[in-house]
Amino acid sequence: MKRIKTRIEPTWDALTLAVPVCFSDVDAMKIVWHGHYLRYCESAREAWCAERGLSYQRMEAIASVAPVVRVQLEYLRPARHGDVLAVRVARVPGSEPSLDLFYEVRGPDGALLAIAETVQVFIDPTGYPFLSPPPPVEAFFAESRRRERANGATA
C-alpha cells in the first residue's frame, strides 16, 4: 500500500470542523477506536459539501448521489477522550468529475494525528457514473474552484 504523501495546500478549498472526542469513542486502551476517524472525516465532508450547496439531501433531490469508492487512512498518533480535534477537509483541485478529498486530523496541540483521502463518484439513479457532472454538481465544483481562486490559486 502506498503512503499518503500529499498534504492540504493553502490554496485548496478547505474547511475545518471541530470534533469533540466522546467517552464512547475510546477503546479499552483509552484511545480513539480506529474506525471513528472515518466518522470524523465523514462529518467534515458532509459540512464541506453542504457549505458549497450540495448537501446529501440536495444530492438525493437531484438524483445524483456520490458513494465513496476509495478510502485510505493513516494513523500517526492517538487521540484521547476529552480532546477536541480539528478535522480539515479539502478538495483536490482538478479531480472532477470525481470528488477527491484529503483530510488532516489534528489534536488540541496542533499535532497531526491522522491523514486520509477519499474518492467519490457521482452516479445516476441506476448506479452508473456520470461522465460529466449534471448542472447542480457542476455548480458545486464551480463554487469550489471560485474559493480556490479566492485563496490565490492560479489555474
| Per-residue model confidence as pLDDT tens digits over 36-57 | 999 999 999 999 999 999 999 9
Model pTM score:
0.93
DSSP E strands: which ranges in 76-146?
Answer: 84-91, 98-106, 112-121
- Could you tell me the CATH superfamily of domain 14-150? Hotdog Thioesterase (3.10.129.10)
Residue boundaries of the structural domains of the chain: 14-150
**Per-residue pLDDT at 155:** 67
User: 120: which 3 cell numbers?
Assistant: 467519490
Please report where in the chains the cell 478549498 appears, as a residue. Answer: 13
- Which conformational region is residue 61 in: left (phi greater than 0), alpha (psi within -120 to 50 degrees), or beta? alpha
Contact in structure between 32 and 21 (CB atoms under 8 Å):
yes
Which H or E run includes 69?
strand 68-75
**Per-residue pLDDT at 1:** 66
Residues of the chain with pLDDT under 50: none
User: In angstroms, rounded to a whole number, what is the distance separating the alpha carbons of residues 84 and 55?
Assistant: 24
